[in-house]
Amino acid sequence: MIEATAAQTSDSAKPHEARQYCSELQEVTGVAVSKSRFTSIAGKPREGNFLDTTLALPGWNDCSLYGTRSYTCDSPGLPSREAAEAAQAATLRELKACLGAGWSEALDRASPNYVVLHNAWHPVSITLSTDETEQRQHVIRITIFRRGN
């Protein structure tokens, strides 16, 4: 779970422990490239084109599906943009370790608050971005989506 206090510097923000959600992350990326895409983990409808998911990432909040091509979750709130950026960098390292070979950063699509990982063998990508909620908390948002048709 991401934890940060005012006493911590942005470099010491503790991101999710990848082992807490690695198997579920691998399962979600596998579902993304399956014939059924995300329909096999679709839950109850939400507002707009969003659906609950039956496969949430442990330690992440508000996991949902958008249509049949996107899966998204938010981290617990962080106290500052700097803490979110530090946690985003650490989470990126953890995602790479969890997902292993075949995943690489699309450096040409990165910015200080947005990172893209592509899978070399399957039409699936992951974005990690930072955002600020209406409650003025900072979060990391993970989005897993299927590219192309």
Convert the pLDDT of each residue in 64-109 to its tens digit.
999 888 999 999 999 999 999 999 999 999 999 999 989 999 988 8
Q: What is the DSSP letter of 54?
A: S
Domain region containing 140: 13-146
Is residue 7 in a domain?
no
How many domains would you assign to the chain?
1
pLDDT category of residue 149 using cuts at 50, 70 and 90: low
Q: What is the DSSP letter of 77?
A: P
Is residue 3 in a domain?
no
CA dist., res. 67 & res. 143, Å (int): 13
Is residue 68 in a domain?
yes
Is residue 5 in a domain?
no
Is residue 134 in a domain?
yes
Is residue 31 in a domain?
yes
Is residue 25 in a domain?
yes
